Amino acid sequence: MAALIIAFVLTSVNPIGGLLVSLPLAIFQLHWPAWFAVALGVPLAYVQVLVVDLFWQRLLAWSFFTRQVEKRRSARLEKILAHRYAPWLLALAGPWIGPWLVMAVARFGGRRQAEVAVPLLVGITYVAIGIALICVYAPRWLAS
C-alpha cells in the first residue's frame, strides 16, 4: 500500500503524463474516491510550477533545461501570455502545453508566478476532474 501511495505522489508530480497515470492509480488500485484523488493530485501536479519558479536561477544554469525551454519557446506562446485574455487561454491550454513550460516561458517573459498561478491551477483542476470522471464512468459505459 505504501509503495502505491509513493507511486501516486511521484506520478502526480511528474510533468509527463502525471495525472493521466496517478488518478487512475488512485481510483483503481488504491480505491480512493475520485474527489479525494483529485484533491490530492491537483496540488501535487502544481508542484512542477513551483519548482520552476522557486529554482529559476538554478535551472537557467543547467544548459539542458535552457535548451529545452528555448526549443519550445515560441512567439505565439509569449503572445498568448501578453494577451488580455491570457488567464482564460492559460486555463484552457496550460495543462496541455505543460504547466512547467508555461511557467518557464512566463519567467523568460519577465512575469511572476502570481500572474499565471490561478489560470494554471484552474486548468490542472479541470483536466483532473475530466480524468477522474472518465475513470468513474467509463467502466460502466464499457461494461454495458
Residue 71, pLDDT > 80, answer no
pLDDT digits (tens, 9 = 90+) for 41-65: 999 999 998 988 888 888 888 888 7
pLDDT digits (tens, 9 = 90+) for 81-134: 777 887 888 788 888 888 888 888 788 777 778 888 888 899 999 999 999 999
In the block, residue with C-alpha cell 492559460: 90
C-alpha dihedral sign at 51, 12, 41, 94: positive
pTM, 2 dp: 0.82
For the residues 32-40, what does the mean pLDDT come to?
Answer: 96
8-16's contacts with Cβ under 8 Å and 24+ in sequence apart are: 8/40, 8/41, 9/44, 12/40, 12/41, 12/44, 12/45, 12/47, 13/44, 13/45, 13/47, 13/48, 15/48, 15/98, 15/99, 15/100
The pLDDT of residue 103 = 84
Which residues contact residue 116 at a Cβ distance below 8 angstroms, ignoring those fewer than 6 apart?
A: 49, 81, 90, 94, 102, 103, 106
